[in-house]
Structure formats: C-alpha cells, structure tokens
C-alpha cells in the first residue's frame, strides 16, 4: 500500500487524474474501473481539462463502473449512468459502446450481475480501478458484512449509506434501497487500485483502514490491505484522525 498525503481535495483530484492519464498514455487500451459519488468529481474535471488540452485520448479505453442503483432507469437524473454522462463521458472521446455500467433497471437482476462479470472477464479484468470509500468503510456498494468472495451482486443499502447519499435526491425516501455492485473479489482482482479519500467525514474510515492488520468483512475496505498495487491519495482532513494518534 502506498499512501500519498496531499493538502486538500483539489490536490487529490489533480494527482488522481495525473495517475490515470499516465496509465492511459502508457496503455491506450486500458480497462479503467470508475467510481461515482462526490469524491472523484474533481478528478473527472481534471481528466476533461487535460482532454481539452489534447494531452490524452480515450478512444481505445474501456470503462467499467463499480455500481448502480436498483430501480432507477438509465436516464434518471440520479442514476450513475447520468452521473457518468454528465461528469465525464459527454466531454471526452470515449466511444459510448466502450463504457459499461450495471443496469439497475434490468428485469432480471441476477442475470445482469452474471453478464457484468462475464463482460469484465472477457475484457481480461480491470487494469486500473478508481475507488472512493464510504463513511462506514464500504467500497463500491459493498456494505459491511458483505462476503469478500462475491463478484457482482445485488446489495441492500444500509441506512447510513442512504442518508449519506440523500443529498443528491430531493428526499431520503427517494434514495433506492438496493444497488448492483461489483463484488469485493472483482475489485481486488484489479491489477491496480487508486483510492481517493477526502474530508473529515472520511477520517474515521481512513484511520481504520491504515491501522487494519487483517481482512475483516465487517469493514469492507480492509479487503484492500494486501492488494499488491494500491495507491491511496488522501488529503489532510481525511488524515486528521490517523495523524492525531501518532
């Protein structure tokens, strides 16, 4: 695990984007795993900026997203399909048929999960997975208690995750109760992982992750501790608790 300490969210976003651009430029056919939520937004803005400066092309990149809410159509304003379209895809040259996100409105969700796994396998796995972390240590939507042996599956969201994500909806009742998420196994099989952590609300989760000695299904992010190629970009406020204990 490599920990890169940065000043603030902007620096985290800039370095996260730089990391991705470096990989894409070295391997234009990169299979890039993408995350949603507030954390990677700045990184996506930097990726768009660099694209506009003609420093990168996504023409040959394939993307696979971590997760999607169950029950929202792709066009729903709060779907992760819309999020990706509005924050990244529509601004860059990636062919839309090379972008993949689980379909949370599929009639047969189990089939959708299996097909998503088959797709990732057919791509040869994920070269670089971008991750954020939930306040309760979730990665993707793998909530505490999720088996580390699972691949893509449907998960019931915890109340705390629904509350944390309610800021994007008009009211908490509108936040879906279920989601499709890549499993911990799928995530950990990525050849490389970049975890972005920013803000004081993540300080407890980050402190736990950095102190974790062994994997523990009660704390999903602990699955990452033995990953051979994990880089964490964390800002000062996210590191505040960890540093105060040293």
Which residues here bind ligand GLP, judged by CB under 6 A?
35-39, 66-67, 132-134, 140-141, 161, 165
Sign, CA torsion 163/48/50/103: positive
Closest contact distance (angstroms) between CB of 55 and ligand GLP is 26
Q: Give the shortest CB-101-to-ligand GLP separation in angstroms.
A: 12
Answer positive or negative: Cα dihedral of 67, 71, 75, 78.
negative
| Catalytic option among 68, 143, 192, 235 | 143
Q: Which of 65, 87, 136, 142 is catalytic?
A: 136
Q: How many CB atoms lie within 10 A of CB 230?
A: 19
Query: What is the C-alpha separation between 163 and 184, in angstroms, rounded?
Result: 23
Buried-state track 193-228, b at ≥16 Cβ within 10 A, e below 16: bbbbbbbeebbbbbbbbbebeebbeebbbbbbbebe
Find tokens 């047969």 and name the residue: 108
Catalytic residue among 50, 67, 127, 207: 67
Residue 78 a catalytic site member:
no
CB of 54 to ligand GLP, least distance (A): 29
* Three-state SS annotation for 15-59: HHHHHHHHHHHHCCCCEEEECCCCCCHHHHHHHHHHHHCCCCCCC
Residue number, 98 or 199, with CB nearest to ligand GLP: 199
Which residue's CB atom is positioned nearest to ligand GLP? Answer: 132
Complex with ligand GLP: residue 113 or 133, whichever CB lies closer = 133
Q: How far is the CB of 231 from ligand GLP (least distance, A)?
A: 16
Query: Which of 89/141 has CB closer to ligand GLP?
Result: 141
136 part of the active site: yes
Active site residues: 67, 136, 138, 143
């Amino acid at each position: 695990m490599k920990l890169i300490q940065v000043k603030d969210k902007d620096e985290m976003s800039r370095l996260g984007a730089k990391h991705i651009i470096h990989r894409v430029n070295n391997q234009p056919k990169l299979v890039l795993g993408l995350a949603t939520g507030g954390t990677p937004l700045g990184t996506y803005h930097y990726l768009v900026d660099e694209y506009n400066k003609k420093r990168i092309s996504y023409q040959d990149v394939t993307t696979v997203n971590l997760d999607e809410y169950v029950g929202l159509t792709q066009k729903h304003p709060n779907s992760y399909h819309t999020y990706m379209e509005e924050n990244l895809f529509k601004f860059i040259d990636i062919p839309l048929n090379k972008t993949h996100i689980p379909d949370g409105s599929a009639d047969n969700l189990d089939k959708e999960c299996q097909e998503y796994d088959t797709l990732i396998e057919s791509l040869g796995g994920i070269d670089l997975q971008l991750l954020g972390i939930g306040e309760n240590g979730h990665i993707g939507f793998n909530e505490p208690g999720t088996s580390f042996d699972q691949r893509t599956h449907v998960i019931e969201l915890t109340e705390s995750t629904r509350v944390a994500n309610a800021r994007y909806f008009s009211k908490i009742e509108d936040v879906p109760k279920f989601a499709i998420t890549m499993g911990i196994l799928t995530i950990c099989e990525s050849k490389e992982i970049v975890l972005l952590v920013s803000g004081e609300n993540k300080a407890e989760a980050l402190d736990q992750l950095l102190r974790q000695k062994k994997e523990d299904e009660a704390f999903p992010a602990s699955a990452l501790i033995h990953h051979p190629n994990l880089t964490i970009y964390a800002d000062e406020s996210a590191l505040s608790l960890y540093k105060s204990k040293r």
